């Protein structure tokens, strides 16, 4: 992780959209009035949803909204790497996991595809529609290699899949998320190997429960 | 009281103390970087590790661990030694070894503790990280590569100064201390972060590369930039005061110092009067002492006693004021005044012009009404105290007068004398229901024609709501000038039938006007023969007919009385410039020439006379407990009118000749005051 700085070029202003503001108010109400600033992380997130990234004017707007010093908002925004401080691709923000499991399963190849099709890491593509990043473990190791694209996980990827996905996004489509080897969530490839008896799922194996386990009061033990 | 054992020695402690404090109480020094007594506890440097039983078998950060009864604390076991060495080694992984070119070198916590607690080498051969420099304004020079992320500066500026400008961005190895987009720190206490910084990351920008700490002569003295009389240590090299640092005085400045008190010292080297001058045919020419004094003596002797007068300045020591006052009384003149701002103070009871609750005592007040003052500019460290008290939640503040950002919340009650005349019920209520209410009156409320009436009305209010009662005197006058209380204490006021400052300055009022370091008045219209005695070529010297070069506050030993009435002695740090002399000695020499030789030949004799005539001056460094007095007698009944109070300090960085000669102050004034002026337009 390198030093996180605000983008050099910044928009001149920032406005909360009506929808963002409504959600922001919902978050602010969750906290006591004197602790408004507790809502800073969700609101930064909402702003990123609205704009795609967190701009400098938006940091000030959040500071004003929550009655915080601007430096305090900046501290939070620079602490968390999921807040994008520079503009990201409008079509897709591709976050390829590069941690051990994904690396062993070929994430380097995925990144090579990204580099060839989009450009250097962490930089906006020439057309402004794509950004790709290498991120730390995103917690889907059994489906390695994984990439998070916008809000969804694309799992079990091959370089060919990756290329196709990028092409699809470029064409304005939203490719299907999930596993690309046809498995259900993180089941083994080729289907489940245990708990395969259909009777488990049709209700025939169910028995009426006579009493809930551990539901009876514990007998008081005599003091020793 | 609970008892803990430190290295086998039993020590009593107060509940709530941390292990570090208990160990200190037992006389064991614990190394630390992030921990500071006056700031919140961060616990992030890990240098204060100790071994504690009972507890987990690993070193514990003593600064953040509450001590418990029966606890055993070890500060000298092999585990502690190893832990300290490990932390030290970690801190030094990324710290540059540039001590030879570092301004902190020689007085650096990291340096000292590396020698005291560190290993002799490092096992880390990797490249050190480098961090970009950050702009923090004209007072703070940054070398962020040296930063060890203790966050003392962040905590100070947020908690004590109340201006949350500094923060730590990013995290882990990338963490950096900065201000928002590198804007300047907008705090009048910003210089303290340089003192707090345990390494050379934040250093004093005005003194950058000017000195090495070990080549300085250190003199403990008193600050005169505001009326608090902050305790300072002035460090000099040769004939130059290189820097000013705060000394600890719990009753006054704790261990902080305002930027003006600290950085105005470069003004001591500029625009100095170093030889007498006499005006001849409209032009000043250098003269000898003999000639200059003769010219003055002739003029004084030629004028009738009621046509000569003297105005004493804001930085004047008590001795020179006493000598001048005695001389003019001997000459038969009653035209003496020390109140350049024209505040309606002085006369009867001494409590009438003092900050009676004391600076420390103001923290006990549970309701404070500030009238016609902006404590943030007039007395920054008093403001920090009020903020401290406000943060604790024990005080409610109301303000009549200038509406400024004071770093704490207050009820704004009104703009001026009209509000004092007809106080809103809310105002009287919050004072009445308070147990220890206080009123802080600034000179801004007491100037002009309505001054005496405002003082009277406030006195009546003070009496009504119990500001002055048995065991509590919360009637506080906040002066802005270091010399003022001393002048009032010795009665440097118009005598019987004498003229005050405003009338002395009127055209044709006087034949000879003596300005004793008085630079804040405009005497251009007076038409009198003007004599200026002072240290700097400023307003007073500008139109003077004779200039007598005096000593600045670091160049003479003198008594100063702060706004609480505490008498303190300033010491000579360096000698006066060129041919300049001690102020009192000049007056003494002049007295001989006008035929009224003053009865003292040494400073000690003068002091003896001063203390004999006014016993309060004999109580050096002593703050008398506040006595009660008849507060309703203050001032004079009269029409309050409708005058909006303005703080007597328009620009806190340009209040006196020394500050106006200082480059740093000019910079601060431009940086910090300009936006205010824009907003007011």
pLDDT digits (tens, 9 = 90+) for A113-158: 999 999 999 999 999 999 999 999 999 999 999 999 999 999 999 9
Q: What is the DSSP letter of B87?
A: H
How long a stretch of residues is chain B?
Answer: 681
Question: A79–B170: do the CB atoms touch at under 8 Å?
Answer: yes
Distance from CA of B407 to the nearest CA of A (A): 13
B480-484, B522-526, B532-536: which has the minimum mean pLDDT?
A: B522-526
Q: Which residues partner with B72 through β-bridges? A: B5, B53
CA B85, CA B71: separation in Å to the nearest integer?
24
Beta strand B283-286 with A92-97 is unpaired
> Which residues in chain A are contacts of B166 at CB distance < 8 A?
71
Extract the tokens encoding B548: 């007598």
Of B187, B108, B180, the residue nearest B143 (C-alpha): B108
Q: Is residue B472 classed as helix, strand or coil in its secondary structure?
A: strand
Which runs of E-coded beta strand occur in A45-145? 92-97, 130-135
Chain B: residue whose CA lies nearest to A68: B164
Q: Which residues partner with B134 through β-bridges? A: none
pLDDT the model gives residue B679: 45
pLDDT at position B18 over 70: yes
Could you report the per-residue pLDDT of A26-62, keeping only the tens digit for each? 999 999 999 999 999 999 999 999 999 999 999 999 9
Q: Which residues partner with B221 through β-bridges? A: B232
**HEC string for B304-346:** CHHHEEEEECCCCCHHHHHHHHHHHHHCCCCCEECCCCCCCCC
pLDDT the model gives residue B675: 56
Q: Which residues partner with A78 through β-bridges? A: none
Q: Which residue has the tokens 């001989």?
A: B592
CA B524, CA B528: separation in Å to the nearest integer?
9
- Tell me whether residue A129 is exposed, middle or buried, using C-beta atoms within 10 angstroms of its C-beta: 0 to 12, 13 to 18, 19 or more: middle
The separation between CA A93 and the C-alpha centre of its own chain, rounded to angstroms, equals 11
pLDDT the model gives residue B681: 41
Domain boundaries, chain A: 16-77, 90-177
| B167: nearest CB among A1, A6, A71 | A71
Residues of B with CB under 8 A from a CB of A: 164-174, 176, 178-181
DSSP string, B539-557: HHHHT-SEEEE---TTSS-
How long a stretch of residues is chain A?
Answer: 224
pLDDT at position A217 over 80: no
Q: Which residues partner with A130 through β-bridges? A: A92
CA B348, CA B76: separation in Å to the nearest integer?
61
Q: Which long-range contacts (CB under 8 A, 24 or more apart) does A21-26 make?
A: A24/A65
Q: What is the DSSP letter of A91?
A: S
CA B515, CA B532: separation in Å to the nearest integer?
5
pLDDT the model gives residue A91: 94
| Beta-carbon pairs below 8 A across chains A and B | 39
CA angle, residues B271, B276, B278, in degrees to nearest 5: 105
> Which residues in chain B are contacts of A69 at CB distance < 8 A?
164-165, 167, 180
A1: confidence class by pLDDT, cuts 50, 70, 90: low
Q: Is residue B526 classed as helix, strand or coil in its secondary structure?
A: coil
Return the CATH class of domain A90-177.
Answer: alpha beta
Of B144, B123, B269, the residue nearest B197 (C-alpha): B144
* pTM, to two decimals: 0.92
| A78: nearest CB among B165, B166, B169 | B169
| B174: nearest CB among A1, A70, A75 | A1
CA B296, CA B278: separation in Å to the nearest integer?
9
Hey, how many other C-beta atoms are within 10 angstroms of the C-beta on B675?
Answer: 10
Beta strand B546-549 with B529-534 is parallel
CA B641, CA A111: separation in Å to the nearest integer?
78
Q: Phi first, then psi: give them for residue B392, nearest 5 degrees.
A: -70, -20
Question: B167–A1: do the CB atoms touch at under 8 Å?
Answer: no
Chain B: residue whose CA lies nearest to A1: B174
Q: Which residues of A are annotated as a binding site for [2Fe-2S] cluster?
A: 97, 102, 137, 141
| DSSP H or E segment with residue B468 | strand B468-469
Extract the tokens encoding A203: 């209700």
Interface test with B, best of A71, A73, A82 (most B CBs within 10 A): A71
Chain A: residue whose CA lies nearest to B183: A71
Q: Is residue B136 classed as helix, strand or coil in its secondary structure?
A: coil
Hey, how many other C-beta atoms are within 10 angstroms of the C-beta on A179?
Answer: 20
Question: B180–A74: do the CB atoms touch at under 8 Å?
Answer: yes
CA angle, residues B599, B604, B609, in degrees to nearest 5: 50
| DSSP H or E segment with residue B41 | none
> Which residues in chain B are contacts of A4 at CB distance < 8 A?
169-170, 174
pLDDT at position B680 over 50: no
Q: Judge if the upstream peptide bond of residue B643 is cis by omega within 30 degrees of 0.
A: no
CA B652, CA B68: separation in Å to the nearest integer?
48
Q: Which residues partner with B231 through β-bridges? A: B222
Chain B: residue whose CA lies nearest to A72: B167
Interface test with B, best of A37, A68, A78 (most B CBs within 10 A): A78
Considering just the CA atoms, what is the radius of gyration of chain A in Å?
Answer: 24
Question: A75–B179: do the CB atoms touch at under 8 Å?
Answer: no
Of B241, B350, B340, the residue nearest B634 (C-alpha): B350
pLDDT at position A216 over 80: no
Of B521, B485, B525, B469, the residue nearest B614 (C-alpha): B485
Q: Phi first, then psi: give them for residue B220, nearest 5 degrees.
A: -85, 125
The separation between CA A55 and the C-alpha centre of its own chain, rounded to angstroms, equals 19
Q: Which residues partner with B308 through β-bridges? A: B512
B204: confidence class by pLDDT, cuts 50, 70, 90: very high
- Tell me whether residue B609 is exposed, middle or buried, using C-beta atoms within 10 angstroms of its C-beta: 0 to 12, 13 to 18, 19 or more: middle
Maximum pairwise Cα distance, chain A: 78
pLDDT the model gives residue B346: 83
Of A15, A44, A13, the residue nearest A27 (C-alpha): A44
Distance from CA of B172 to the nearest CA of A (A): 9
Extract the tokens encoding B101: 């070119």
Chain A: residue whose CA lies nearest to B171: A79
Rounded mean pLDDT, A93-99: 96
Chain B: residue whose CA lies nearest to A60: B180
The separation between CA B628 and the C-alpha centre of its own chain, rounded to angstroms, equals 27
Of A115, A86, A139, the residue nearest A148 (C-alpha): A139
pLDDT at position B674 over 80: no
Distance from CA of A134 to the nearest CA of B (A): 18
Extract the tokens encoding B619: 């109580």
> Which residues in chain A are contacts of B169 at CB distance < 8 A?
4, 71, 74-75, 78-79
Per the CB < 8 A criterion, the answer to whether B372 and B645 are in contact is yes
pLDDT at position B129 over 70: yes
CA B399, CA B371: separation in Å to the nearest integer?
6
Torsion angle (degrees, nearest 10) of CA B459, B463, B466, B470: 100
Distance from CA of A161 to the nearest CA of B (A): 35
Question: B165–A71: do the CB atoms touch at under 8 Å?
Answer: yes
Rounded mean pLDDT, B318-345: 95
| A75: nearest CB among B168, B173, B181 | B168
pLDDT the model gives residue A224: 60
> Which residues in chain B are contacts of A74 at CB distance < 8 A?
167, 169, 180
- Tell me whether residue B518 is exposed, middle or buried, using C-beta atoms within 10 angstroms of its C-beta: 0 to 12, 13 to 18, 19 or more: buried
Of B84, B77, B45, B78, the residue nearest B64 (C-alpha): B45
Could you report the per-residue pLDDT of B580-610, keeping only the tens digit for each? 999 999 999 999 999 999 999 999 999 999 9
CA B224, CA B274: separation in Å to the nearest integer?
21
| B167: nearest CB among A1, A4, A75 | A75
pLDDT the model gives residue B617: 95
Rounded mean pLDDT, B418-426: 88
Extract the tokens encoding B40: 């919140």
Could you report the per-residue pLDDT of B602-652, keeping only the tens digit for each? 999 999 999 999 999 999 999 988 788 888 888 888 888 888 999 989 899
Beta strand B49-53 with B72-74 is antiparallel
Hey, how many other C-beta atoms are within 10 angstroms of the C-beta on B65?
Answer: 20
Q: Which residues partner with A131 through β-bridges? A: A93, A124
Per the CB < 8 A criterion, the answer to whether B4 and B69 are in contact is yes
Torsion angle (degrees, nearest 10) of CA A188, A193, A195, A196: 110
Could you report the per-residue pLDDT of B35-93, keeping only the tens digit for each? 999 999 999 999 999 999 898 999 999 999 999 999 999 999 999 999 999 999 999 99
Q: Which residues partner with B575 through β-bridges? A: none
Distance from CA of B162 to the nearest CA of A (A): 11
pLDDT at position B678 over 60: no
Q: Which residues partner with A211 through β-bridges? A: none
> Which residues in chain A are contacts of B174 at CB distance < 8 A?
1-4
CA B70, CA B5: separation in Å to the nearest integer?
7
Q: Which residues partner with B442 through β-bridges? A: B478
């Amino acid at each position: 992780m390198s030093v996180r700085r605000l983008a050099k070029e910044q928009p001149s202003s920032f406005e909360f959209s009506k929808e963002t503001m409504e959600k922001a108010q919902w978050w602010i109400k969750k906290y006591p009035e004197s602790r408004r600033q507790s809502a800073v992380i969700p609101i930064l997130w909402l702003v990123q949803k609205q704009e795609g990234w967190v701009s400098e004017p938006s940091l000030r707007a959040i500071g004003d909204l929550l009655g915080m010093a601007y430096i305090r908002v900046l501290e939070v925004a620079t602490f968390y790497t999921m807040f994008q401080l520079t503009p990201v691709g409008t079509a897709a923000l591709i976050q390829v996991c590069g941690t051990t499991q994904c690396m062993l399963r070929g994430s380097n190849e995925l990144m090579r595809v990204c580099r060839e099709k989009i450009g250097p890491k962490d930089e906006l593509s020439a057309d402004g529609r794509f950004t790709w990043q290498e991120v730390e473990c995103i917690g889907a190791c059994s489906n390695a290699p994984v990439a998070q694209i916008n809000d969804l996980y694309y799992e079990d990827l091959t370089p060919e899949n990756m290329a196709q996905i990028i092409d699809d996004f470029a064409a304005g489509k939203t490719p299907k998320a999930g596993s690309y080897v046809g498995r259900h969530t993180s089941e083994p490839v080729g289907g489940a190997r245990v708990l395969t008896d259909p009777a488990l799922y049709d209700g025939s194996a169910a028995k009426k429960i006579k009493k809930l386990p551990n539901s009876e009061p514990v007998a008081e033990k005599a003091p020793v | 009281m609970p008892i803990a054992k430190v290295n086998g020695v039993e020590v009593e402690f107060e509940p709530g103390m941390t292990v570090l404090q208990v160990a200190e109480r037992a006389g064991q020094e614990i190394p630390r970087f992030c921990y500071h007594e006056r700031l919140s506890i961060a616990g992030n440097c890990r240098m204060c590790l100790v071994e504690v039983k009972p507890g987990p078998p690993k070193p514990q950060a003593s600064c953040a661990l509450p001590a418990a009864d029966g606890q055993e604390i070890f500060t000298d076991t092999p585990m502690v030694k190893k832990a300290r060495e490990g932390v030290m080694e970690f801190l030094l992984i990324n710290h540059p070894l540039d001590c030879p070119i570092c301004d902190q070198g020689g007085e650096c916590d990291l340096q000292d503790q590396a020698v005291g607690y560190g290993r002799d080498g490092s096992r880390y051969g990797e490249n050190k990280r480098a961090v970009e420099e950050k702009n923090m304004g004209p007072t703070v020079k940054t070398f962020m590569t040296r930063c060890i992320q203790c966050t003392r500066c962040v905590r100070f500026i947020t908690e004590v100064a109340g201006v949350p400008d500094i923060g730590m961005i990013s995290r882990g190895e990338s963490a950096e201390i900065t201000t928002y987009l590198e804007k300047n720190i907008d705090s009048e206490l910003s210089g303290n972060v340089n003192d707090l910084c345990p390494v050379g990351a934040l250093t004093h920008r005005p003194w950058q590369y000017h000195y090495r700490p070990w080549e300085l002569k250190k003199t403990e003295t008193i600050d005169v930039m505001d009326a608090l009389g902050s305790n300072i240590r002035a460090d000099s090299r040769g004939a130059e005061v290189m820097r000013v640092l705060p000394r600890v005085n719990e009753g006054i400045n704790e261990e902080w110092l305002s930027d003006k008190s600290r950085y105005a010292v470069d003004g001591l080297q500029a625009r100095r009067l170093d030889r007498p001058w006499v005006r001849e045919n409209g032009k000043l020419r250098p003269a000898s002492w003999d000639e200059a004094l003769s010219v003055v003596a002739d003029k004084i002797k030629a004028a009738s006693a009621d046509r000569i007068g003297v105005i004493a300045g804001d930085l004047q020591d008590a001795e020179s004021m006493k000598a001048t006052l005695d001389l003019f009384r001997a000459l038969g003149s009653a035209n003496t005044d020390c109140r350049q701002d024209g505040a309606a103070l002085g006369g009867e009871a001494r409590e009438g012009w003092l900050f009676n609750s004391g600076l420390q005592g103001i923290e006990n007040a549970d309701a404070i009404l500030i009238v016609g003052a902006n404590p943030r500019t007039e007395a920054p460290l008093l403001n920090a105290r009020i903020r401290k008290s406000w943060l604790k939640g024990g005080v409610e503040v109301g303000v009549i007068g200038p509406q400024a950002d004071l770093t704490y919340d207050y009820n704004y009650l009104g703009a001026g004398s009209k509000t004092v005349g007809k106080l809103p019920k809310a105002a009287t209520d919050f004072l009445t229901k308070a147990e220890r209410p206080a009123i802080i009156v600034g000179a801004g409320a007491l100037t002009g024609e309505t001054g005496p009436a405002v003082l009277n009305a406030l006195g009546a209010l003070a009496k009504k709501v119990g500001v002055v009662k048995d065991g509590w005197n919360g009637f506080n006058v906040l002066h802005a000038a270091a010399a003022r209380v001393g002048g009032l204490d010795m009665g440097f006021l118009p005598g019987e039938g004498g003229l005050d400052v405003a009338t002395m300055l009127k055209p044709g009022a006087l034949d000879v006007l003596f300005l004793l370091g008085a630079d804040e008045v405009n005497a251009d219209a007076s038409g009198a023969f003007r004599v200026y005695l002072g240290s700097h070529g400023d307003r007073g010297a500008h139109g003077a007919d004779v200039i007598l070069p005096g000593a600045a506050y670091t160049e003479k030993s003198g008594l100063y009385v702060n706004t609480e009435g505490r008498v303190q002695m300033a010491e000579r740090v360096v000698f006066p410039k060129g041919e300049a002399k001690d102020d009192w000695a000049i007056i003494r020499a002049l007295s001989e020439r006008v035929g009224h030789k003053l009865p003292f030949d040494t400073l000690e004799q003068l002091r003896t006379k001063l203390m004999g005539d006014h016993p309060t001056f004999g109580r050096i460094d002593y703050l008398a407990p506040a006595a009660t007095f008849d507060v309703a007698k203050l001032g004079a009944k009269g029409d309050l009118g409708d005058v909006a109070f303005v703080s007597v300090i328009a620009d806190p960085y340009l209040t006196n000749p020394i500050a106006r000669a200082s480059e740093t102050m000019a910079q601060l004034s431009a940086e910090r005051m300009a936006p205010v002026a824009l907003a007011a337009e």
